[in-house]
């Protein structure tokens, strides 16, 4: 039974606390923390945990064997570094930190500690569909992957959603999952600003067409369209030398009615990927219990930050912008 | 250039006259006939043909090399027999005749003539989808056919449509196409009267579940549902020993909208099978020019009549009714 | 934390013990029992439970709050009756008992106890696909259900599989799930013995075509084909008054290769329905903790037995055989 | 009956002669021409036409009402200009001419003649699938088109196929069909040279990723992959403001076998688009008989040439290259 402390009791924190307490095996939430004591008390009510208002105290609590960080993004770095210093495994929701430099600092702290302690909450890798894709690709049954065509479509976004958030909040999922999926590294970023949909607010460029090129020579294109109206529609087709492999959409009944035959498309990311969150945290719990990290590492968090920065630059410049992460350290291979 | 006379200038007659004159190759309509002279004159206007009011005179006209019969069903027999007597090829719209006995009389007249002269207008055999199915089945790639599951769904029928018409007007297509498709002969008929849809008039049993058993031991089931509302939906899945083969629906754009991904279903039989009528008549023209018959024969017309009678009997008795056609004559093999 | 005892430590018993111990929440296996002590000891090793060689002793153990019965079918009745007598909730793998009379005895004992204690292990109701179907049907969005077309196809069966097992081991799943799905009761059973596949052993009639009629007038047909070679292929299309609703197959990658575009079909029932077993037992655990039964009842177990008997009779008689369960008691509504 | 002369009796010439003589209505091939007299004689054998060895003589023949040009590409210009001079309608297989300047010369000659005489053989516009797409897009049911994602995949190409031919022989089809489909004009061309498949010869860049931007702001991406091995796979998904519309693949039987459910992919362009050639020429014949041009014009031929030149430049430069056609003349609107 892994004893976990959760830092940050907002919406996502509460979701994870429920998940850890009610759905997963082999884990117990023994402490929660929030700068707003009331929020922490409410969250503690879910699971009967100790309450802290300072994450540092929670990390220091000897009852806490591992830490889950669900505070606002800007606060992740501090808690993650504390956990590393304490030699405790830590699961940080994405982003690992809000700048590439901060991510780098975490990477260096972890390497200095000599132990694999940090996992970042990129849940797509735990989606069953991506797993099936990965399995086929690794079999090399259809040869080497050459290209990938993706879409990331949301039915609608909040008024506060900005053009940059198309990278930081939306593309970020493809940024993490695609290099894992194809086992390659990014080289450059390009963004084509498209004619806009009438359904976006004037400040927002929507849709955008984003292109990765990899060190191995692959091209990965992603249509990011966050006011597509019709659904939360995630597609990924990997073109290999002798066949193509396409992500399955979740299975729904096939309905014939009104002169058409149709299956459903999810309209909410939460329904589309809900199972992956369970799998992700269960996997982290199981691995943490064995003292290892299986999932996205601090290095992956750093790569995501550097790549996102390049795409934001490319949004503005209209040019192909290099993605420069430096050599992947031996420690993370 | 095959010189054709058309007997019967109603809606279907005019359609065939247009088809023969404007779309098909190697054929010319040189004479038309209708008991209503005005109808015949109007039809002649399409193609510049001679006008008759008596089909017998048209058949006897030495300019007419082959005859197309599109008069009402009760009048088919007389013209077909006249054409046989004249040694001219004849294409009769279905039904060949309105009773099994009359069909038998035509079969015997044709056999007595020693020449293959008669083709019946069962168009499904000329549908591209059924052709693709037949090709796969004949390859024996998936072993012998064992069962077939079919649906014949119409969105709606006229108020005059009766329970018996579910056999004579609807199932009749499966009656002809299925024994051709699986290359087997029918043994018995069963009809299960189902709970009725609220969308049918009180006099009509809809849907009905119809079951053929064949001499070879196959079971073929057909859902006949003529007020299904959602479309004209023809399905046919043949279950073989090592795989199943299913009729393709016509290709339509794949549309993602409103939380679903959908393709279209036809709502009218005319759109669904329009191309098969062109293919059917062109094939008849080409074969007639060579002095042969490739399509459904008088024997097939007779088999359809006997089979339909057994299904109507089965509708009333609730029992498994035998389908007795006698041995297929050598002449028709 | 529900304290459970498991009676029967064969393969399925061990699976359930692992499931209860390693995957599910809120449950603990505190005792196991098997007539073969070694098997019981081995199973106890999975979960650290007490060991019994007599199921009666396990049921009587005051530490055991609820009982899971995974002994051979003939032994279910005894343990279930003991659990009822002890007032403990009991989950019996299917069949509830091996004869309709024995099932009836359990039904009567449960009713006499005045408490809902018994659940039968019909897992299909917990499959996500069937749940989606049920949800659509209950919405009445497409009107009332009228017919259902099903297939139950296995790639291959053991040499010992007999013609009767097509009912008892295969159709039994449709027997339970379909009346739940359409919320109707069975009236009669018919079996059409089809031409056999060359891939079945001589003693086995395969495929068979099975037909239910319901009190509400629905027709449900099931192709049972247990040597279909190509996959474990479960289909269920419910035809409603204004549309049809078809069970989704599990999602797999879409692969283009070798002149075709394809998705996968499972080849093993265990992979196809594995998740439903987890959901089923978790649901039972949660309900048992609240003192209720949500799933298939003893009455459902009895209905299954009576219906299976009618189908076996119909296999032999070739006739439509009545399915007579008597009125559903108020207790089970 | 339109009297047609065909200039060029190679493979494609013979195909068109057969098509015009044996499949289409209202047209007669009265003359054929080829610099190789033997080829012309052989082609004349198909249809009983007069034989010329000089296209100019054929064009001048008063029996010839309209001209079909199927000579090698470099010879198109001369015959097309002769036909314009003679005031005769002319169907030129693509390319209209081998340089943009030559195309421009034809455009100017046609405008000077004051009559619409020239049609270019871009057959995709006559494919049923693209027609369905166009119809949906024109309905504006899903709002304005914003992006399009296309693939042009061939299973294999000849050893002589070069990197530039990916534009001139392959992308050329998307070049013509896409601006017609979305009713917009091209602004720039970009080509991303991808990691190469092991299945291409060393001199050939395969696959390539080609990107159009339009004056209206749309992005159109095309994966050109001519050694994809698995099939001739043409895809086109147009993303609109409230839905996406995707080209249907031709309908084929749905086959369940060997643990998968599959439909077929064509392996040859000829099978994929055969029907569009019939429709294209029949449409030209019908329009020519009425003295009009419905299909791709000389201006479209010129646009194709200019666009192809920009893509070839972009292949070499790696930059976004402008596509400069000048304003579309009133004459062609």
pLDDT of residue A292: 86
- Whether the CB of A139 is below 8 Å from some CB of chain C: the reply is no
Q: What is the mean pLDDT of chain D?
A: 96
Considering only CB atoms, which chain B residues are within 8 Å of D257?
A: 142, 242-244
- Whether the CB of C261 is below 8 Å from some CB of chain D: the reply is yes
CB within 8 A of C333, min separation 6: which ones?
Answer: none
pLDDT > 70: what percent of chain B?
100
Considering only CB atoms, which chain D residues are within 8 Å of C266?
A: 259
- C-contacting chains (≥3 CB pairs under 8 Å): A, B, D
Q: Do B256 and D243 touch (CB under 8 A)?
A: yes
* pLDDT greater than 90 at residue B176: yes
Choose among A192, A230, A244: nearest Cβ to D243: A230
Answer whether D224's CB lies under 8 Å from A180's CB. no
- B-contacting chains (≥3 CB pairs under 8 Å): A, C, D
pLDDT of residue D285: 95
Considering only CB atoms, which chain C residues are within 8 Å of A244?
A: 255-257
Choose among D229, D259, D264: nearest Cβ to C260: D264
Average pLDDT over residues D184-189: 98
Answer whether B82's CB lies under 8 Å from B104's CB. no
Average pLDDT over residues A159-176: 97
* pLDDT greater than 90 at residue D324: yes
- Whether the CB of B152 is below 8 Å from some CB of chain C: the reply is no
Q: Do A230 and B256 touch (CB under 8 A)?
A: yes
CB within 8 A of C1, min separation 6: which ones?
Answer: C26, C27, C28
* pLDDT greater than 90 at residue B175: yes
Choose among A198, A239, A242: nearest Cβ to D143: A198
- Whether the CB of D252 is below 8 Å from some CB of chain B: the reply is yes
* pLDDT greater than 90 at residue D188: yes
* CA-based nearest residue to D5, from D76, D60, D84: D60
**pLDDT tens-digit series, residues D1-58:** 899 999 999 999 999 999 999 899 889 999 999 999 999 999 999 899 999 999 999 9
* pLDDT greater than 90 at residue D289: no
**pLDDT tens-digit series, residues A259-313:** 999 999 999 998 999 999 999 999 999 998 888 889 999 999 999 999 999 999 9
**pLDDT tens-digit series, residues A131-147:** 999 999 999 999 999 99
pLDDT of residue A317: 98
**pLDDT tens-digit series, residues D197-224:** 999 999 999 999 999 999 999 999 999 9
CB within 8 A of C290, min separation 6: which ones?
Answer: none
* pLDDT greater than 90 at residue A113: yes
Considering only CB atoms, which chain C residues are within 8 Å of D262?
A: 260-263
Q: Do B211 and C192 touch (CB under 8 A)?
A: yes
**pLDDT tens-digit series, residues B240-266:** 999 999 999 999 999 999 999 999 999
Q: Do B251 and D129 touch (CB under 8 A)?
A: yes
pLDDT > 70: what percent of chain A?
100
Considering only CB atoms, which chain D residues are within 8 Å of C263?
A: 260-262
Scanning B178-197 for CB atoms below 8 A from C yields 192, 194-197
Answer whether B151's CB lies under 8 Å from B235's CB. yes
* pLDDT greater than 90 at residue B151: yes
Q: What is the mean pLDDT of chain B?
A: 96
Choose among B256, B257, B264: nearest Cβ to A259: B264
**pLDDT tens-digit series, residues D153-174:** 999 999 999 999 999 999 999 9
**pLDDT tens-digit series, residues C120-168:** 999 999 999 999 999 999 999 999 999 999 999 999 999 999 999 999 9
Considering only CB atoms, which chain A residues are within 8 Å of C248?
A: 251-254, 263
pLDDT of residue B89: 96
Distance linking the first and last C-alpha atoms of chain A? 29
pLDDT of residue B240: 98
Classify residue D332 by burial, with Cβ atoms within 10 Å: 0-12, 13-18, 19+.
middle
**pLDDT tens-digit series, residues D96-133:** 999 999 999 999 999 999 999 999 999 999 999 999 99
Q: Do B243 and D257 touch (CB under 8 A)?
A: yes
Average pLDDT over residues B35-53: 95
Average pLDDT over residues C114-119: 96
Distance linking the first and last C-alpha atoms of chain D? 29
Size of interface A-D (CB pairs under 8 A): 92
**pLDDT tens-digit series, residues A13-37:** 999 999 999 899 889 999 999 999 9
Choose among C233, C259, C261: nearest Cβ to D267: C259
* CA-based nearest residue to B293, from B282, B283, B279, B303: B283
pLDDT of residue D288: 86
Average pLDDT over residues B75-104: 97
Enclosing H/E stretch for B132: helix B128-139
- Whether the CB of D37 is below 8 Å from some CB of chain A: the reply is no
Considering only CB atoms, which chain D residues are within 8 Å of A221?
A: 209, 221
Answer whether D37's CB lies under 8 Å from D20's CB. no
pLDDT of residue D290: 83
Q: What is the ipTM of this complex?
A: 0.95
Interface test with A, best of C250, C252, C253 (most A CBs within 10 A): C253
- Whether the CB of A262 is below 8 Å from some CB of chain B: the reply is yes
For residue C268, how many other CB atoms are within 10 A of its CB? Answer: 12
Distance between B35 CA and the closest CA of chain D, angstroms = 31
For residue C158, how many other CB atoms are within 10 A of its CB? Answer: 8
* pLDDT greater than 90 at residue B273: yes
Choose among C260, C261, C267: nearest Cβ to D259: C267
Q: Do A262 and B264 touch (CB under 8 A)?
A: no
pLDDT of residue C310: 98
For residue D173, how many other CB atoms are within 10 A of its CB? Answer: 22
Query: Residue D252: closest CA among chain B residues belongs to which residue?
Result: B248
B138: left (phi over 0), alpha (psi -120 to 50) or beta: alpha
Q: Do A230 and B263 touch (CB under 8 A)?
A: no
Average pLDDT over residues A60-82: 97
**pLDDT tens-digit series, residues D63-103:** 999 999 999 999 999 999 999 999 999 999 999 999 999 99
* pLDDT greater than 90 at residue C224: yes
Q: Do B255 and D242 touch (CB under 8 A)?
A: no
pLDDT confidence of A243, banded at 50, 70, 90?
Answer: very high
- Whether the CB of D235 is below 8 Å from some CB of chain A: the reply is no
pLDDT of residue A33: 98
pLDDT of residue B324: 97
Considering only CB atoms, which chain B residues are within 8 Å of A249?
A: 261
Average pLDDT over residues D243-264: 97
Q: Do A229 and D219 touch (CB under 8 A)?
A: no
- Whether the CB of A143 is below 8 Å from some CB of chain D: the reply is yes
pLDDT of residue B145: 98
Interface test with A, best of B228, B229, B255, B262 (most A CBs within 10 A): B262
DSSP structure class, residue B168: I
pLDDT of residue A133: 98
* pLDDT greater than 90 at residue B1: no
Query: Residue A232: closest CA among chain B residues belongs to which residue?
Result: B259
Bond before B13 cis per omega within 30 degrees: no
- Whether the CB of C140 is below 8 Å from some CB of chain B: the reply is no
Choose among D194, D219, D244: nearest Cβ to A217: D194
pLDDT of residue C290: 83
- Whether the CB of D268 is below 8 Å from some CB of chain C: the reply is no
Token pair for B260: 């679903």
Distance between D213 CA and the closest CA of chain A, angstroms = 8
Size of interface C-D (CB pairs under 8 A): 49
**pLDDT tens-digit series, residues C275-321:** 999 999 999 999 988 888 889 999 999 999 999 999 999 999 999 99
Distance between D206 CA and the closest CA of chain C, angstroms = 18
pTM comes to: 0.96
Looking at the DSSP bridge assignments, the partners of residue A6 are A32, A68
Interface test with D, best of C153, C258, C259 (most D CBs within 10 A): C259
- Whether the CB of A156 is below 8 Å from some CB of chain D: the reply is no
Q: Do D136 and B257 touch (CB under 8 A)?
A: no
Considering only CB atoms, which chain B residues are within 8 Å of D247?
A: 253
CB within 8 A of A146, min separation 6: which ones?
Answer: A218, A239, A240, A241, D194, D195, D196, D197, D207, D225
């Amino acid at each position: 039974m892994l004893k976990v402390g959760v830092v940050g009791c907002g919406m996502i924190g509460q979701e994870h606390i429920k998940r850890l307490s009610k759905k997963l095996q082999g884990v117990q939430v023994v402490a929660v923390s929030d700068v707003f004591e009331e929020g922490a008390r409410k969250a503690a009510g879910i699971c009967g945990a100790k309450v802290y208002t300072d994450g540092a105290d929670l990390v220091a609590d000897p009852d806490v064997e591992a830490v889950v960080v669900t505070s606002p993004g800007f606060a992740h770095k501090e808690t993650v570094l504390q956990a590393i210093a304490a030699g405790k495994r830590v699961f940080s929701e994405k982003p690992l930190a809000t700048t590439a430099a901060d991510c780098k600092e975490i990477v260096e702290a972890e390497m200095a500690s000599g132990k694999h302690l940090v996992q970042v909450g990129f849940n797509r890798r735990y989606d069953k569909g991506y797993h099936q894709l990965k399995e086929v690709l690794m079999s090399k049954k259809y040869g080497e992957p050459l290209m990938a065509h993706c879409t990331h479509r949301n039915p609608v976004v909040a008024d506060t959603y900005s053009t940059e958030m198309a990278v930081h909040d939306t593309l970020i999922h493809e940024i993490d999952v695609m290099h894992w999926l194809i086992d390659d590294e990014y080289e450059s970023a390009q963004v084509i600003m498209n004619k806009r949909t009438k359904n976006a607010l004037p400040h927002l460029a929507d849709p955008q067409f984003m292109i990765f090129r990899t060190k191995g020579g692959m091209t990965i294109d992603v249509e990011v369209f966050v006011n597509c109206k019709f659904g939360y529609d995630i597609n990924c087709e990997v073109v290999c030398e002798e066949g193509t492999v396409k992500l399955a959409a979740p299975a729904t009944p096939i309905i014939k009615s009104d002169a058409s035959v149709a299956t459903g498309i999810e309209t909410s990311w939460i329904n589309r990927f809900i199972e992956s969150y369970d799998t992700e945290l269960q996997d982290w719990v199981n691995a943490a219990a064995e003292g290892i990290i299986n999932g996205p590492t601090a290095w992956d968090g750093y790569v995501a930050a550097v790549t996102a920065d390049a795409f934001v630059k490319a949004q503005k410049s209209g040019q192909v912008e290099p993605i420069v992460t430096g050599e992947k350290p031996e420690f993370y291979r």
